Every structure is written in C-alpha cells, then in structure tokens.
Amino acid sequence: MRARRSSRSSPRSSLRENLESILWAAALALLIRTFIVAPFKIPSGSMRPTLLEGDRILVNKFLYRFREPQHGEVIVFRFPENPKRPFIKRLIAVGGDRVEIRGGRVVINGRPAGSAVVQETTYYNQGEFGQAQHAVEVPEGMYYVLGDNSSSSHDSRFWGFVPQRLLIGKAVCIFWPPKRIRALQ
C-alpha cells in the first residue's frame, strides 16, 4: 500500500518558492533599470519651468539604441567634466550643426530654432561656447545642450559638447510629485 502525500506543501518549500520569486523580481528590476528605464531626481532649477527641483522623472535608456536623439528632446547624460554625475538638459544641436545665441534666441544653421527645439525664453550669451556673434560648430558624434532656465544653467555654453558615449537616455515623463505627473515633450 502506498503512503499518501499531503496536499499541503511544507513550510520549507514555501519559503524557497518565495525566495526564488523575490530573487527573480530583483533580477528583472535590475535588468529593466540597467538597460530599459531608470528614475532620476532633478537636483536644480536649470530646467525650469519644464522640470522643477525635486521632480522625479523616468528616462528611456533603450530608445537611442534604435534612433539618434532629436533636436529639442530633454536628455540625460553623464557630465563630460565628471562622468559620475548625471546631468539633464535640452538637446539643441547635433554633430554638423552650427549653433549661435543671437539676441536672446537660439539660431541653428542660420535659422531661428522653433518652439519644438527651444523653450520660449531668453537665452543668454555666456561662456566660451555661447559668446555673442560667435557661431559654434558641433563636432560629429557630439551634442550641444542648454538648460531651459538659461540664467541658471551650467551647460554647453560653458563646458562645450556632450560626447555620444556619455548619453544615458531620453527623459520621458515626470512621475513624482503626483500633481506634476505628465509626459515630457
């Protein structure tokens, strides 16, 4: 005669099953955060009014594996002077573009940048790469970025270009605080 097995699982197998589930969830979360999407916190007012201090955003790290960044997108990258620090700015010009700040407006390749590229704000001539009456040519494989709050932004006007290899991804939405939840254009 065969012994009957209990239909209830032992506490030890339940514990093992729970631990395996937790490990798989942690591995999946790590994989998603490393390669697909990551959260970032906005530390300063350099992107006001688009992003405020303390906003938390999601960054699509996957998108730029399939297409090039576009003019006007809000991007996250590692700061060229200290690659351990992530920065967030608006992409103004890409390799091959000539960019200039003329009369408070951004001019790309001799034409005023439209509202799809820059915010309706005054951009100030500051720094070595943002001097008045001086167009800057963006080298291939590089990006020129500006903060939306021009008077308070440490950006390409001061330190130059962002190499493509330092690009992290595109900012896609604000997810915190709840009253500011929205997609970024």
DSSP 137-160: EPPTTEEEEE-SSGGG---HHHH-
Specify whether 179 is catalytic: no
Q: What is the pLDDT of residues 95-117, one digit of tens each?
A: 999 999 998 899 999 998 887 78
How far, in whole angstroms, is CA 88 from its chain's centroid? 5
Task: Give the active site residue among 46, 150, 153, 156.
Answer: 46
Note if 41 is an active site residue: no
* Sign of torsion over alpha carbons 162, 50, 148, 111: positive
Please give the model's pTM, rounded to 2 decimal places. 0.83
CB-based contact 100:107 (threshold 8 Å): yes
Q: What domains lie within the chain, and their CATH numbers?
A: 38-183 (2.10.109.10)
pLDDT category at 147 given cuts 50, 70, 90 is: very high
* Token output for 11: 């506490």
Give me the mean pLDDT over the 3-29 stretch.
74
| Res. 170 pLDDT band, cuts 50 70 90 | very high
Write down how long the chain is: 185
**Active site residue: 61, 89, 150, 156, which one?**
89
State the pLDDT confidence band at 32, using cuts at 50, 70 and 90: low
Q: What is 58-70 written as a DSSP string?
A: EEESSGGGTS---
Task: Decide: 37 and 59 in contact? Cβ < 8 Å.
Answer: yes
133 band by pLDDT with thresholds 50, 70 and 90: confident
At 108 the pLDDT is 94
Q: 3-state class of 117 per DSSP? A: coil
